[in-house]
Amino acid sequence: ATGAGLAAQLRGSGQVAVCFFGDGAANRGPFHENINIGGVWKLPVVYVCENNGYAQWTAQADITLVTDISSMSAAYGIPGVQVDGMDVLAVHEAAGEAIDRARRGEGPTLVECKTYRFHGHNYGDPQQYRTREEIADWAENNDPIKRLSAHLRDTGVMTEAQDEAIQQQVAESIQAAVQFAESSPYPTPDELYKDVYSYDIA
């Protein structure tokens, strides 16, 4: 994203690059190197840390004393913003402000979204590092879709019937996509090279 931000700056395109990474990545060198040069060159980049409290299978507090990733921004002279990553509207507002700042030529922002993942890090993750009760509590009380849905209903933007209709439509779309994938033939070896490069560069 830092390279894309540099390209946008050099071209004067007004574009903003957005980079997403987890809390575990914030302990690695490339994170610090990119944020540093992004700040020095005032690149139009928004660095978004999805801090779910676990670096793969390890609790964040077990590997770093700095559990608020947004505070790391101070070392590089850029703003750091922490937001409830389970609140769609809060994330939207923080992202909008960071993007506007980047477009004004004021450089990057580090946005930390305190969030949670309901499933394992990968398909084979046994999730022995957290309890089923913890997962259930987050799913019941902090599901961002449920929270946004409740907000829209409470503010009169959407009725319960509309909410149910949307959920049904989404469920049907997902089922259709799954059926399409399962009934599609396996790709041939020559498809490995499709859409790898963009040749329309001028």
DSSP string, 42-68: T-SEEEEEEE-SEETTEEGGGT-S---
**pLDDT tens-digit map of 70-121:** 999 999 999 999 999 999 999 999 999 999 999 999 999 999 999 999 888 8
End-to-end CA distance of the chain, in Å?
A: 21
**pLDDT for the residue numbered 201:** 62
The pLDDT confidence band at residue 62, using thresholds 50, 70 and 90, is: confident
Radius of gyration of the chain (CA): 20
Comparing CA positions, the residue from 87, 67, 78 lying closest to residue 110 is 78
Can you give the pTM of this predicted structure?
Answer: 0.84
The pLDDT confidence band at residue 202, using thresholds 50, 70 and 90, is: low
User: Which of 19-28, 35-44, 49-58 shows the lowest per-residue confidence on average (mean pLDDT)?
Assistant: 49-58
Residues designated catalytic? 117, 121, 129
